[in-house]
A and B are shown apart, each in its own frame.
Chain A
Amino acid sequence: MTPLRRVVIGSLLILAWPMAHAADGQKIFTQGGANPAAMACLGCHGPDGKGIAAAGFPRLAGLPAGYLSKQLHDWRNGSRKQPVMEPLAKALSEDEIKAVSIYLASLPADPVGDLRRQQIADDPTTRMALYGDWSRQIPGCVQCHGPGGGGVGEHFPPLAGQPASYLIAQLNAWRDGNRSNDPNQLMVGVAKAMTDDEIKAVAEFFARPVSQEVKP
């Protein structure tokens, strides 16, 4: 081997190293963690990580890494409850949680509707989504979850592109205490103040594909 080739191979190895490292997350996503109980994400969350709407399995693609990592930790500590995810989260190592969270955050997500707040909301569901109902101390969903429900920062995950049944299940979990991992208990109060019909309507509002939202 000539010295030049050694340099080339050495460089390739160095270049390949971070990729191999990043592949950890991908591997967990496609094949699962080192512990066999940590099953591959794509089995339920879809090959693109965008969830399986018919089954109510949520979208993970493009969610903030900090949020994903926190959820996995919260299943371990019991502040979020879900029979499938609890043992799975416990089977992942700290490094694996970090790697898979970063990988999932990097996956492309569908574009979010640029639903702004200029229009006066004429129907009650749009009003709830954009402005809330302050007679019950409910802020508009987009005030924290961002324009179009696309998410803001690490603490306010996207609502857009999540299956309606998943969003309904979460709001109900806050109401009945199966989920208590919201920072500063911001969601508990909101969820308890909403009616069943409102929860269903607003969940469908954000689950609706963007293409159907845009009207001429």
Chain B
Amino acid sequence: MKPMIPALLLLAVGSVQAAPIAMEDQSQLKVPGVQAAPQFVPPAESELPDNAFGKMVREGHALFVDTRRLMPEAVGNGMNCSNCHLDQGRLAHSAPMWGAYPMYPAYRKKNDKVNTYAERIQGCFQFSMNGKPPAADSPQMTALATYAYWLSTKAPTGVEIAGRGYPEVPQPKDGYDFKRGQQVYREQCAICHGDSGEGQKVAGEYVMPPLWGKDSYNWGAGMHRINTAASFIKYNMPLGKPGSLSDQQAWDVAAWINRHERPQDPRLVEGSIEKTRVKFHANDGVNLYGQKIDGVLIGEGTGS
């Protein structure tokens, strides 16, 4: 019983100051390294049953790959689930759904409570898609959760399965460099994502997602962390050429992308970037929110 008391005290303090973390973040435990080769194979489309469940999986799949167009009321920018979770949420080292679904419910540091899978997805809508999350009992949430559940068929629950998340890319000893990052961006990324990170559209719909600006992920999204973006980039970008950038290049270009303005963190505390930084960004990996770069305050937010 004794060890519980300091933990409870810390929790109580945390609710006031939100600084000390009383419990490990179970949703963000160390992602297995790339040395552990992914073994899990999600089920094939051909295995999908032709019944109400199969239909719901198909609906969830549709929302997953075409989120912005099918859920305009919930998505406030130009992003789809499949922009961060490649190959329809199937790809190892691209935060596949089969690595995520079986890990919930889980405690998350981000909102300091035990989250259901639906609550986790709501986080994606609030931050990565800068929108209004669908209700936990909405048909869309049921469809998305059913799709993730189906992809996780035969995966163990509560196990850090190899291939889950984005493998951590250690920060290079000399940190990162914006100028080098800009160079990598120009040479490797701009062809799809545009010279100004604006993405590319066809007939008004994004085909290649915007990386900054009003239609990109907001300052509260996990991808705003340089370490997270570096991990995603290293193992997934350029599309079809994963692993082609060095760790240094991945960090440099992640820093370049994430120094640009994007929609404000919806958790903005009393209209203050500094208060928001202290509460939500100071202990959130490597990020630039609320810092000054070349004399310019980062985190002002852009567009709506």
A79–B205 alpha-carbon span in the complex (Å)? 33
Chain A CB within 10 Å, residue with most, of B48, B70, B88, B238: B88
A109 close to B (CB within 8 Å): no
A147 adjacent to B207 (CB under 8 Å)? yes
A137 adjacent to B242 (CB under 8 Å)? yes
Which residues on A sit within 8 Å (CB–CB) of B69? 116
A131 adjacent to B87 (CB under 8 Å)? yes
**Which of B46, B62, B207, B242 has a CB less than 8 Å from the CB of A152?**
B207
- 19 A-B pairs with CB atoms under 8 Å apart are A116-B69, A117-B65, A118-B65, A120-B57, A120-B61, A122-B45, A131-B87, A132-B87, A134-B91, A137-B240, A138-B240, A139-B239, A144-B207, A146-B202, A147-B207, A152-B208, A184-B187, A184-B238, A186-B191
A135–B258 alpha-carbon span in the complex (Å)? 30
A186 adjacent to B45 (CB under 8 Å)? no
Interface code B181-201, partner A: CB below 8 Å = 1, 0 otherwise?
Answer: 000000110011000000010
Which residues on B sit within 8 Å (CB–CB) of A153? 200
Shortest A126–chain B CB gap in Å is 10
- Given A131-B88, A150-B202, A184-B188 in contact, is the A118-B62 Cβ separation under 8 Å? yes
A134 adjacent to B208 (CB under 8 Å)? no
A122–B47 alpha-carbon span in the complex (Å)? 10
Which residues on A sit within 8 Å (CB–CB) of B191? 155, 183-184, 186
Interface code B36-72, partner A: CB below 8 Å = 1, 0 otherwise?
Answer: 0000000001101000000001100110011001100
Across the interface, name the chain A residue whose C-beta is closest to B238: A184
Which residues on B sit within 8 Å (CB–CB) of A117? 65-66
State how many residues of chain B have any CB contact under 8 Å with chain A: 31
B86 close to A (CB within 8 Å): yes
Shortest A134–chain B CB gap in Å is 4
A-B contact count (CB 8 A): 69
Across the interface, name the chain B residue whose C-beta is closest to A114: B203
B91 adjacent to A119 (CB under 8 Å)? no
Shortest A21–chain B CB gap in Å is 29
Shortest B116–chain A CB gap in Å is 26
A31 close to B (CB within 8 Å): no
A190 close to B (CB within 8 Å): yes
Across the interface, name the chain A residue whose C-beta is closest to B82: A117
Which residues on B sit within 8 Å (CB–CB) of A122? 45-46
Across the interface, name the chain B residue whose C-beta is closest to A138: B240
A152 adjacent to B202 (CB under 8 Å)? yes
B241 close to A (CB within 8 Å): yes
A190 adjacent to B240 (CB under 8 Å)? yes
A143 close to B (CB within 8 Å): yes
5 more A-B contacts (CB under 8 A) besides A132-B87, A184-B238? A131-B88, A134-B90, A134-B91, A144-B192, A147-B202
Shortest A202–chain B CB gap in Å is 15
A113–B202 alpha-carbon span in the complex (Å)? 13
Which residues on A sit within 8 Å (CB–CB) of B46? 122
The 7 closest A-B pairs by CB, nearest first: A118-B62, A134-B87, A139-B240, A146-B202, A120-B45, A117-B65, A139-B239
Across the interface, name the chain A residue whose C-beta is closest to B94: A134
A189 close to B (CB within 8 Å): yes
A121 close to B (CB within 8 Å): yes
A29–B240 alpha-carbon span in the complex (Å)? 37
A152 adjacent to B240 (CB under 8 Å)? no
Which residues on A sit within 8 Å (CB–CB) of B57? 120
Interface code B238-250, partner A: CB below 8 Å = 1, 0 otherwise?
Answer: 1111100000000
Interface code B121-136, partner A: CB below 8 Å = 1, 0 otherwise?
Answer: 0000000000000000
A108–B234 alpha-carbon span in the complex (Å)? 41
**Which of B70, B87, B242 has a CB less than 8 Å from the CB of A118?**
B70
Within A92-127, the residues touching B (CB, 8 Å) are: 116-122, 127
A152–B203 alpha-carbon span in the complex (Å)? 10
Which residues on A sit within 8 Å (CB–CB) of B238? 184, 186
A119 adjacent to B62 (CB under 8 Å)? yes
A100–B52 alpha-carbon span in the complex (Å)? 55
Which residues on B sit within 8 Å (CB–CB) of A143? 207, 239
A116–B87 alpha-carbon span in the complex (Å)? 15
Shortest B299–chain A CB gap in Å is 30
A151–B287 alpha-carbon span in the complex (Å)? 35
A186–B87 alpha-carbon span in the complex (Å)? 17
